[in-house]
A and B are shown apart, each in its own frame.
Chain A
């Protein structure tokens, strides 16, 4: 009842199997001869490095759509504002500005306090002093520019 094709299969099968097994054994031997580092270490390194590139695609999103805003120089320019160079506003640069501040000569205003009688006069006195101080500072700055 067997067809011709089936008969051929039955005849050829043992030879085919032994050939296939030999091929597999050769492949296994070749695989065994590869150093262990190349078999496990290299794929691991490739996975870690490749993984970071893969994750980059997703990590980028949080920078692309981040919430924090920044002062856009073009926007400032359009508004007619000039932003100082960031190196001029570091803590070191600002310290250079404030280190000459006269902190030893200040007058202690003793009161009366705001809620006490005449307290509002104290506020006015403070405001006047502040205005005088500001004027002094502006004059000093102007003088500095003229000297330069």
Chain B
């Protein structure tokens, strides 16, 4: 979960999120290099008087400043496209979960076991504020899980930041996303699409555990 004063992303909890973090860092390196280069050039032009008034044409220079941005864009676009398609990929899921957004709670259904429940915000002073729910979802660790997300009224968005998942729940439409949690723990998220007066009060609480705990949880439903 995100902490007070955290300046960076939350720790990655799925291979996709790890890749997203790498991509972010990679893009930032490229962007900072461009900005530094431009700043140095700008300042040197401002403070130096060595201006070549007789420079009318320079084919090599033009070739370089045409090719450089092209190459830089390729270096950013290719990993970005790779990630984009990787996020959409389905790897023969082992577990399927149907998620329905309502004003203002989430309904979950473990489609493989025909069991479902609603999840409301927990309003208790002992719990984390605005992110705890009364019924939590369980998913086994290191298991390919398919999430099928839709809504029963307005558009919502189901999000777990540390897993790199953010999918809109759109009425009349079913969106699919994959989850592959790589470590156990509690993971939190909130509705990420303004959906009405109580939009801030429909959190998501996800518990990642081992297979035995998951089976016990399903049995208890």
Q: Which positions in A face B, CB cutoff 8 Å?
A: 67-72, 75-76, 79-84, 88-89, 91, 94-95, 97-99, 101-103, 106, 108-114, 120, 122-123, 126-127, 130, 134
- B58 within 8 Å of A (CB atoms): no
Q: Which residues does chain B contribute within 8 Å of A67, judged by CB atoms?
A: 142
- Are A111 and B112 in contact, with the CB atoms below 8 A? no
Partner of B153, one of A71, A95, A106, A122: A106
Distance in angstroms between the alpha carbons of A23 and B114 in the assembled complex:
81
**Contact residue range for chain B?**
35 or more
Nearest residue (CB) in B for A84 is B112
Does B121 belong to the interface (CB within 8 Å)?
yes
* A127 / chain B contacts, CB cutoff of 8 Å: 105, 118, 120
A89 and B219 contact, Cβ closer than 8 Å, known pairs A113-B198, A114-B121: no
> Which residue of chain A has its CB nearest to the CB of B104?
A126
Chain B contacts of A88 at CB under 8 A?
A: 111
Chain B positions 147 through 187: 1 when the CB is less than 8 Å from some CB of chain A, otherwise 0: 01011111000000000000000011010100010000000
Listed by A's residue number, 26 A-B pairs whose Cβ atoms lie within 8 Å are A67-B142, A68-B143, A68-B144, A69-B143, A75-B215, A79-B216, A79-B218, A81-B113, A89-B111, A89-B112, A91-B148, A98-B100, A101-B171, A106-B103, A106-B152, A109-B103, A109-B104, A109-B198, A111-B197, A112-B197, A113-B198, A113-B200, A126-B103, A127-B105, A130-B120, A134-B118
